[in-house]
Copies of this chain bind each other. A is one copy, B any other.
Amino acid sequence: MRELELISALERALSASGPHVIRSLGDDAAVVRGRGYAVTSVDAMVDGIHFRSSQLRPEEIGHRALAAALSDLGAMGARAGEAYLALGLPRGTERDRALALVDGARALAERCGVTIAGGDVTTAGELVLSFTVVGWVEDPAEIVPRDGARVGDVVAVTGALGGAGAGLAIVEGRATAATDEQSRQLRERYARPTPRLAEGRQLARAGARAMIDLSDGLATDARHLARRSGVRIELALSALPLGPGVAEVAGALGSDPGAFAASAGEDYELCVCLPQAAIAGDALASLPVSLTAIGRVVEGEPELVFTDSRGVLAGYEHSL
């Protein structure tokens, strides 16, 4: 199949109409009405590095790549607007498979009120999905950076941790959960994560001072907050909210459940530093997912410490 034919098919598959989109695929660029300040993040996923295409359905690969990108907008407290996809397809990729990749992303985009407004399709040696996502805020003061944590803040996480790591172990055949249904749910946590967009905005409005999404794992990501904010963060492994079935999978892998949840990546939950008053107030009562306090920002050298762990925990780093 010629590239132009597949691009046409992908263009038709991408419903690029959106409330703010003036022009989209088919021109040299997409035109979108700006709404204040643009918050932009890029997230690339490469087959064999960030996922294995043999282990996931194409819809899941598309969903996952967009979710990872949108998660960054959640961590900034921005309202997600548009997404742009640079799609690298191995030579000979079937048309249905390419369309399914886009369908998976499109379904998530619709759920999140996001418009896939453009992109580029090309041949590549391996499957690559690079999403550029744009969110909008009216005032830059609405943005939650990584460097705003202050001594006395409570550190909290949304949802539950370790589910994606356990799901990956199941996908790779290294472990199974107690029941088939639990295995299925953990696999889903890995294959189709939910970006915490509404939660990020609500946390921003509630007074969040610093925030990051958990892509590389709490042990790595919370350390970014500590170092960039110039504060010491003390967390307790025992306080981490574990997803259903995570403890069993961690046990089967010979890991302490807390340490497993802190070092496994790709949960795409948010880790946030908030004043005590904010977490105790009403503003977060309606948060769509649970919010669990897991530690404090304290005086000291800029570092992340787990108070109930002797060793140094490391999250996931892709080595070049």
Binding site for B on A (CB under 8 A): 1-4, 6, 22-23, 26-46, 48-50, 72-73, 75-76, 78, 82, 84-86, 88-89, 91-93, 117-120, 122-126, 128, 130, 132-137, 140, 143, 145-147, 211-213, 228, 317-320
Shortest C-beta distance, A32 to chain B (Å), equals 5
Q: Is B2 a contact partner of A317 (Cβ separation < 8 A)?
A: yes
Please tell me if the beta carbons of B126 and A125 are within 8 angstroms of each other in the complex: yes
A199 CB to nearest chain B CB (Å): 14
B130 near A26 with CB under 8 A, answer no
Main SS of the interface on chain A? Answer: strand
Specify the chain B residue showing the minimal Cβ separation from A120. Answer: B42
> Which of chain B's residues has its CB closest to A49's CB?
B123
Chain B residues near A93 (CB-CB < 8 A): 320
Inter-chain contact A42/B118, CB cutoff 8 Å: yes
- Judging by beta carbons under 8 Å apart, are A27 and B318 in contact? no
* Contacting pair B88 A28 (CB below 8 A): no
Cα distance A31–B118 in the bound complex, in angstroms: 20
Closest to A85 in B: B42
List B contacts of A48 (CB < 8 A): 125
Docked-complex contact A146 and B320, CB < 8 angstroms: no
Smallest distance from the beta carbon of A211 to chain B beta carbons, Å?
Answer: 8
Q: Is the CB of A39 within 8 A of B43?
A: no
Question: A134 near B40 (CB under 8 angstroms)?
Answer: yes
Which listed residue (B2, B37, B92, B118) contacts A32, Cβ 8 A? Answer: B37
User: Is the Cβ of A146 less than 8 Å from the Cβ of B86?
Assistant: no
Q: Which residues of B contact A318 (CB under 8 A)?
A: 3, 122-123
Pick from B76, B118, B122: contact of A50, CB below 8 A.
B122
B212 near A28: Cβ-Cβ < 8 Å: yes
Q: Are B124 and A126 in contact (CB under 8 A)?
A: yes
A228 in contact with B26 (CB, 8 Å): yes
Do B23 and A30 have beta carbons less than 8 Å apart? no
Given the known interface contacts A40-B84, A130-B130, the answer about A122 and B319 at a Cβ–Cβ threshold of 8 Å is: no
A86 with B42: CB separation less than 8 A: yes
- Among residues of B, the one whose C-beta sits closest to the C-beta of A318 is B3
Residue pair A31, B130 in contact (C-beta under 8 Å) = no
- Which of B2, B28, B212 contacts A41 (CB under 8 A)? B28
Q: Separation in Å of the A146 CB from the closest CB of chain B?
A: 5
Given contacts A42-B120, A124-B128, A132-B132, 20 further A-B contacts (CB under 8 A): A2-B320, A3-B320, A22-B37, A28-B41, A29-B40, A29-B41, A29-B73, A29-B75, A31-B137, A33-B37, A34-B34, A42-B118, A42-B119, A44-B88, A44-B120, A44-B128, A49-B122, A123-B320, A125-B126, A130-B130
Cα distance A46–B128 when bound, in Å? 11
Q: List 25 A-B contacts (CB under 8 A).
A: A22-B140, A22-B143, A23-B140, A26-B147, A27-B146, A28-B41, A28-B146, A29-B78, A30-B39, A31-B38, A32-B38, A34-B34, A34-B35, A38-B134, A40-B134, A42-B119, A43-B120, A44-B120, A45-B122, A46-B122, A49-B123, A86-B132, A123-B319, A124-B126, A124-B128
With A130-B120, A319-B3: A32-B22 Cβ-Cβ less than 8 Å? no
